[in-house]
Amino acid sequence: MQTIEILNLDTNTSEQQALKPLEQARRQLEICNACRYCETYCSVFPAVHRERSFSDENLKQLANLCHNCRGCYYACQYTAPHEFDLNLPQALAKVRQESWQDNAYPAAFAKAFHKSGAAIGAAVIVGFAALLWLIQLMGTHSTTDSQANFYDLLSHNLMVALFMPAFLLPLVSIAFSVRRFWQDIDAEPLRLIHIKGAFASAAKMKNLAAGHGEGCNYEDEDRFSQARRYFHQATMYGFLLCFAATSTATLMHYLLAMAAPYDLTSLPKILGIIGGISLSIGTAGLAYLKLEADKSLGDTQVWGGEMAFVLLLFFVSTSGLALYWFGQSPWLGELLALHLGCVLAFFLLMPYSKMTHGFYRLAALIKEEQNKV
């Protein structure tokens, strides 16, 4: 391996560690650009090697290309105790986190969630679940009736009235946030060919397979694995299937006059059950891998918030499955309140949670497709 003999390093190790995230990422990427050992590891390094210097815009885009698989760290000869003290996964994680938080509105909410995500998530779930349970008590239908279903406790129109703004307003907030990020990375006008390439990359999550195709060593430096890629895919496709189930049910109810509830063979039920199982498996797997992985190779200050987001998605899916399987039990009212409380909490916290990373990574992938031309 070629050794780097001359680099512009005017700081000692303690001063290097005190650099701001963008400055630290710039310092480390300049060293990586001279070494180039990790050139085939993922899409980050070919993008790095196209540059001779790194603007703030470059760094933000590169950080959002990174999947934090840690393969480059375990292969690097310049990590501590070397004087260069490289920890590129952590450096990019901090820039990536800043890009999400700074563009969120209001940014203080994002910082609060990533600092105390578990407490905030639990409080929001409990608060909404209690409110929905009280709404049920104000109704006239008894949950002990074996023929009852949750539309008897909360009407379809009421749920739409509650959840439509809770879903659309956070999406508008995310759209403005991503638009600011798009301007930050100095991207060009959108073209269909670039969008198609970005979606193809996101759908396959090929960067989590690494350049050699054997996966990444996220949870174990001595072993490559596709587990994180598969759990990510199960989470993403499970979420999309659940969203498709809800959308299909809404269209059937309002456009086709096919009132809910629907039987097991209906499209909303099939999509919802498959999506719920996939989402539960994916989020449980990601939570396990996150516990196994080295925290020091990510942004340790937001570890709790990231874990809280994964667990929130897990509770959304598993509470939904529980509501389906135990929908004729005496606990119908409580299960419904808990599930809808989880869903409302997820929607309202979306702009301030790691949910935004999917949109930002897609924008970074589109920018990467533009840069390849």
Token output for 27:
């310092």
pLDDT at 230: 92
Tens-place pLDDT, residues 335-372: 888 999 999 999 999 999 988 988 999 999 999 989 88
Pairwise pLDDT comparison (141 vs 201), residue with the higher score: 201
Q: Is residue 7 part of a domain?
A: no
CA nearest to 211, candidates 2, 6, 13, 40: 40
Cβ atoms of 238 and 277 closer than 8 Å: yes
List residues bridging with 216 in a β-sheet. Answer: 225
Is the same domain home to 40 and 116?
no
pLDDT at 209 > cutoff 70: no
**CB–CB of 121/345 below 8 Å?**
yes
Quick check: bond before 165 cis, omega within 30? no
- Specify if 1 maps to a domain: no
Give, rounded to a whole angstrom, the gap between the first and last alpha carbons of the chain.
30
Listed in sequence order, the residues at least 6 apart from 280 whose beta carbon sits closer than 8 Å to its beta carbon are: 238, 314, 317, 318, 321
267 found inside a domain: yes
**Residue where one domain finishes, among candidates 77, 102, 127:** 102
Q: Which is nearest to 276 in space by CA: 241, 228, 323?
A: 241
Q: Is 259 exposed, middle or buried (0-12, 13-18, 19+ CB in 10 A)?
A: exposed
Report if residue 342 sits inside a domain: yes
Instruction: Mark whether 230 and 358 lie in a shared domain.
Output: yes
Kindly report the number of other CB atoms within 10 A of residue 285's CB atom.
19
Q: Answer for the pair 37, 12: CB distance below 8 angstroms, yes or no.
A: no
Q: Could you tell me if 279 and 348 lie in one domain?
A: yes
Q: Please say whether the dihedral angle defined by the alpha carbons of residues 291, 44, 18 and 27, taken in this order, is positive or negative.
A: positive
In tens, the pLDDT along 222-274 reads: 778 888 889 999 999 999 999 999 899 888 888 888 876 778 889 999 999 99
- Mark which of 73, 102, 131 sits at the end of a domain: 102
Shared-domain flag, residues 196 and 321: yes
Amino acid identity, position 28: Q
Do 81 and 121 have their domain in common? no
Per-residue pLDDT tens over the stretch 129-176:
898 888 877 765 544 454 556 666 777 677 778 888 988 999 999 999
pLDDT at 15: 57
Among 90, 66, 123, 17, CA closest to 303: 90
Say if residue 87 is in the same domain as residue 113: no
Please report, for residues 29, 211, 252, 309, 324, the alpha-carbon distance to residue 48 in angstroms, rounded to integers and kept in the order given.
7, 15, 48, 30, 48
**Please, where are the H alpha helices in the chain?**
13-17, 21-35, 44-49, 56-65, 71-75, 88-103, 107-115, 117-137, 150-153, 156-184, 192-204, 227-254, 267-292, 303-325, 332-349, 356-372
Of 76, 102, 128, which one is at a domain's C-terminal end?
102
Structure confidence at residue 94 (pLDDT) = 95
User: In the chain, how many domains are there?
Assistant: 2
Which of the four pLDDT bands, split at 50, 70 and 90, describes residue 185? confident
Does one domain contain both 257 and 151?
A: yes
Task: Note whether 276 and 291 are same-domain residues.
Answer: yes
- Would residue 5 count as lying in a domain? no
Q: What is the pTM of this model?
A: 0.85
Q: What is the pLDDT of residues 39-83, one digit of tens each?
A: 888 888 888 988 888 999 999 999 999 988 888 898 899 999 999
Tell me the pLDDT band of 328, cut-offs 50, 70 and 90.
confident
What is the reported pLDDT for 23? 95
Indicate if 152 and 89 belong to the same structural domain. no
Q: Are residues 223 and 113 in the same domain?
A: yes
- Residue 220 in any domain: the answer is yes
CA distance 266 to 246: 12
Answer yes or no: do 131 and 244 share one domain.
yes
Match 């399987």 to its residue by tokens: 325
Based on the fold, state whether residues 62 and 132 are members of the same structural domain: no
- Say what the pLDDT of residue 2 is: 44
Instruction: State mean pLDDT over 6-16.
Output: 50
In a domain? residue 3: no
The pLDDT, as a whole number, for residue 42 is 83
What pLDDT does residue 336 have?
Answer: 86
Q: Is residue 354 part of a domain?
A: yes
Tell me what pLDDT residue 221 has: 74
Q: What is the mean pLDDT of the chain?
A: 85
Count Cα atoms within 13 angstroms, Cβ side, for 253.
17
Each residue's pLDDT tens digit, 79-131: 999 999 999 999 999 999 999 988 988 888 888 888 888 899 899 999 988 98
Domain range for 17 is 13-102
